[in-house]
Amino acid sequence: MKKQKMQGKFLPPKSDVAFKELMRNETVRRYFISDVLGIPPEEISETRLENTYLGRRGRRDKEGILDVKLLFNNDCRVNIELQIKNIPAWDKRSLFYLSRMYVEGVHAGEDYALLKKCIVICVLGFSWDAYPGYHKVYSLRDQEGRLYSDQFEIHVIELNKELTGHRLDDWVRLFRAEHREDLHMIHSENPGIMEAVKEVMTMNLGARLRALYEEHMRIKRDRIYLRNIAINEGKSIGKAMGMTEGLEQGRAQGLEQGHQQGLEQGLQQGRQQGLEQGKNIGDLKRRRQDILELLEDLGETPQDILSRIYAEEDTGVLRHWHKAAAKANSYEEFRDAIISHHQL
């Protein structure tokens, strides 16, 4: 019964883990770029990943960033972003990463001619605007529509809009898939699409990616929980300190006006101190959580190591322990490393 329940689960192509795994596939990357940019696939000689750590394939392979960066034909850099939920200022975020990707292409003292064209492809699970058509292309143009420069290009693909009969339709169908049956309905002459369908079907047969996806979601929920705890603790501490300090200053002045001013000043100072303390508490919890995540692949964490990690209040020490956890092949190695650092 339990086995049937596990087999009934489906890892959708638009999940972070599945999307990153798809981008590892050279054929999928080539045909996706070809269809989005309108370039014949035979003109794309190479698509090389620039951020190779897209997911954890083994214990030593740490989880990477959400965005997929690649270089094709050695003259154009592309950042592919899959954003399912609408977040505040996502458009500014995309512009920020586009600009940063552009300036990363040249170092101080080098010729500006070395800068490569940069393209951002945003695949959205929400409506960006009210206009028809799910694929829009933005570039730098003047008020008459004349091109200023082709160095910047932004593609927005909205998954929840009507299909248009374009070659991209099959990619939209793929990323919309919520069940295995949706994949079986996709029949395309596009080799990239069929390769992607095969990849997703394979992912849903393997326990490794299923476990990775569930662990990814658990970590995501835990981080949100710890951040909220830190914020609430900071607010509580700030309110208590502010009220006490403000009342003491008000009584010392002996005047109602001075009392009110002191109270307001005390509240402000107390809130600031409390928020700073709350931020520090949240930082400590986050660092401890990161260390424990790295140690998970070594097996169940011994109690003495757990006690040391939760008792440590120095963020500098926790940073060192984080590096030690990334290198350790056993709990004995990690224990020796933190003991040696403590003796320094």
Determine the pLDDT at residue 251. 59
For 119-168, write each residue's pLDDT tens digit: 999 999 998 888 889 999 999 999 999 999 999 999 999 999 999 888 89
For 286-326, write each residue's pLDDT tens digit: 778 878 877 777 777 787 888 888 888 887 888 888 888 88
Q: Which residues pair with 139 in a beta bridge?
A: 153
Give the strands of the sheet with 117-124, arranged side by side.
47-49, 68-72, 76-83, 117-124, 147-158, 135-141
Question: Using CB atoms within 10 A of its CB, is residue 162 exposed (0-12), middle (13-18) or buried (19+)?
Answer: exposed
DSSP one-letter code for 51: -
For 40-83, write each residue's pLDDT tens digit: 999 988 888 876 554 433 343 333 334 678 887 778 999 898 88
What is the end-to-end Cα distance of the chain in Å, rounded? 55
Question: Using CB atoms within 10 A of its CB, is residue 93 exposed (0-12), middle (13-18) or buried (19+)?
Answer: middle
